[in-house]
């Protein structure tokens, strides 16, 4: 079964981005989406997305089997694991934590200064509600 690559023209603007980001999608011959990814407009191999996973791969239906968060082409996420593998039923099979491309254990990730700063900001937001 072959898949074809379709480039979407939609640009995803963000005042924080220096990079112009574009979303691309690949479909299989049967019309089912194989994966979608967000990347630099001029380089589809340079993953970048600030508001969600930059790469999502799908199983024979719309079930996600893999997600990866990237900032500036490095795996990075401060609010959870940066790589997640799913079982066909949608439950998490494996996950891995990264900050600025460096793989960390869950404990190292929890103690990282960027994660601690994010947790404080989130707690302050909750307190102001």
pLDDT class of 75 with cuts at 50, 70, 90: very high
List strand residue ranges (DSSP E) for 15-124, in order.
Answer: 21-28, 33-40, 43-47, 55-58, 64-68, 70-71, 74-75, 83-86, 92-99, 102-104
Of the candidates 93, 82, 97, the one whose C-alpha atom is nearest the C-alpha of residue 59 is: 93
* Predicted model pTM: 0.79
pLDDT digits (tens, 9 = 90+) for 5-46: 444 444 444 434 456 888 988 888 888 888 999 998 888 789
Stretch 79-94: mean pLDDT, rounded? 93
Q: Does residue 58 have a pLDDT over 50?
A: yes
What is the Cα gyration radius of the chain?
16
Q: What angle do CA 116, 78, 109 make, to 5 degrees?
A: 65
Distance CA(86)–CA(103), nearest Å, equals 19
Q: Does residue 123 have a pLDDT over 80?
A: yes
């Amino acid at each position: 079964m072959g898949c074809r690559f379709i480039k979407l023209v939609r640009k995803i603007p963000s005042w924080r981005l220096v990079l112009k980001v574009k979303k691309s999608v690949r479909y299989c011959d049967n019309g089912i989406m194989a994966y979608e990814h967000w990347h630099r407009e001029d380089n589809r191999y340079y993953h970048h997305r600030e508001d969600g996973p930059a790469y999502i791969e799908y199983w024979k239906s719309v079930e996600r089997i893999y997600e990866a968060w990237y900032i500036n082409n490095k795996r990075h996420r401060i609010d959870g694991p940066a790589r997640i593998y799913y079982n066909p039923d949608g439950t998490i099979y494996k996950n891995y934590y990264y900050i600025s491309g460096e793989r960390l254990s869950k404990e190292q990730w929890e103690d990282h200064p960027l994660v601690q700063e994010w947790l404080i900001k989130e707690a302050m937001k909750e307190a102001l509600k």
